[in-house]
């Protein structure tokens, strides 16, 4: 097993100013695992669903090398459900409904062959559950964590304990500010890095992402898309591409993290082109490589400074 991912596997109802989709398969772990699968032969998914979850989607994931031994299926129960509405500025959305359903019973017990995996992706979940997964891992080479404002509001102490155990934290700009109590993202990064992680990734939706270490910073743009159909899962897809690329290359240097950020951004751009995970199921490695090249071209410029 090259990677273990924990997170939600869900049904989502999504409304945007341009359309809607009901009961589509979503969930952080679904997006992460599918995105990472482009770079890995085998990853393991830790989560829980009800027996309402479609078996054909499980088959599709398994065909992409996502092992589902760690996905518990609870008989007679319903899967996690989330409904959200995006505004005209698709960087903002309202949660209309969250039904935890089976998530209330999630007490992760890792299959034996998951425990020695070198890479771990802690998808957005109760930090106590994230900690339980980490407790069962033998000695991972790299742990990446995602979280959200909900846990900052309700479980800050538990959250900080997990943050202290990870190598890379991924949050959006508002969450970085809330977690650190700093408005400046540079100051926020310094405060968060002092909590334990070696690197911080700050996602800024259609405005790209920043990568911070103690003494370096890198900015990656997002691909300007003609039509953004559905940004749901873009953050998770980004994280999946990011950790998938790192697991494949096994190089944790700042320069390789820069490449991983571009790969994650390329995958996230595909995710937004259709509702749910649809686009991630269509694309091939060649499509990703082509888009990565478009990122390189997007920021390529030559400048000669003129004399005063």
Q: Which residues bind ligand AMP (CB under 6 A)?
A: 8, 10, 12, 26-28, 82, 98, 124-125, 150, 232-236
Cα atoms in the 13 Å half-sphere on the side-chain side of 71: 26
Which residue lies nearer to ligand AMP by CB, 100 or 256? Answer: 100
- Angle between helix 156-163 and 127-136 (nearest 10): 30
* Least distance from ligand AMP to the Cβ atom of residue 18, Å: 17
Closer CB to ligand AMP, 87 or 216, in the complex: 87
Residue nearest to ligand AMP (CB): 26
Q: Single out the residue of 177, 124, 133 nearest to residue 155, CA to CA.
A: 124
Lookup: tokens for 227: 């039509």
Q: Which is nearer to ligand AMP, 94 or 290 (CB)?
A: 94
Q: How far is the CB of 70 from ligand AMP (least distance, A)?
A: 17
Judged by CB, which is closer to ligand AMP: 167, or 230?
230
Q: How far is the CB of 78 from ligand AMP (least distance, A)?
A: 13
Tokens 């500010």 found at: 177
Nearer to ligand AMP, 107 or 251 (CB): 107
Give me the least distance between CB of 233 and ligand AMP, in Å please. 5
Integer angstrom CA distances of residue 157 from 32, 195, 287? 26, 12, 42
Cα angle 125-177-169, degrees, rounded to a multiple of 5 = 45
Residue 188 tokens, joined: 């926020």
Beta strands in 182-236 (DSSP E): 199-203, 209-212, 217-220
Q: In terms of Cα–Cα distance, which of 161, 123, 148, 162 is closest to 4?
A: 123
CB of residue 53 vs ligand AMP: minimum separation in angstroms?
A: 12
CB of 94 to ligand AMP, least distance (A): 12
Evaluate whether 29 touches 7 at the Cβ level (below 8 Å).
yes
**CB of 173 closer than 8 Å to CB of 202:** yes
Angle (deg, nearest 10), helices 28-36 and 55-63: 30
CB of 40 to ligand AMP, least distance (A): 20
């Amino acid at each position: 097993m090259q990677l273990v991912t924990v997170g939600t596997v869900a049904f989502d109802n999504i409304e945007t100013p341009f359309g809607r989709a009901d009961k589509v398969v979503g969930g952080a772990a679904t997006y992460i695992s599918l995105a990472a699968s482009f770079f890995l032969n085998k990853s393991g998914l830790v989560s829980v669903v009800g027996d309402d979850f479609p078996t054909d989607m499980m088959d599709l994931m398994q065909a992409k090398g996502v092992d589902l031994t760690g996905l518990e299926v609870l008989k007679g129960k319903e899967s996690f459900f989330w409904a959200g509405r995006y505004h005209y500025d698709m960087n903002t959305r309202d949660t209309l409904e969250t039904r935890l359903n089976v998530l209330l019973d999630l007490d992760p017990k890792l299959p034996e062959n998951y425990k020695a995996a070198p890479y771990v992706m802690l998808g957005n979940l109760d930090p106590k559950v994230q900690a339980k997964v980490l407790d069962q891992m033998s000695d991972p080479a790299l742990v990446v964590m995602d979280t959200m404002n909900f846990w900052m509001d309700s479980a800050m102490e538990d959250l900080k304990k997990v943050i202290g155990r990870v190598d890379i934290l991924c949050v959006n700009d508002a969450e970085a500010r809330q977690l650190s109590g700093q408005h400046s993202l540079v100051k926020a990064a310094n405060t968060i890095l002092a909590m334990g992680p070696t690197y911080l990734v700050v996602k800024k939706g259609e405005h790209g992402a920043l990568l911070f270490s103690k003494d370096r910073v890198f900015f990656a743009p997002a691909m300007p898309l003609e039509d953004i159909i559905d940004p749901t899962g873009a953050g998770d897809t980004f994280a999946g591409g990011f950790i998938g690329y790192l697991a494949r290359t096994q190089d944790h240097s700042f320069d390789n993290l820069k490449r991983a950020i571009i790969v994650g951004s390329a995958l996230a751009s595909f995710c937004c082109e259709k509702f749910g995970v649809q686009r991630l199921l269509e694309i091939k490695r060649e499509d990703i490589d082509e888009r990565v090249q478009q990122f390189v071209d997007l920021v390529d410029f030559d400048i000669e400074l003129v004399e005063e």
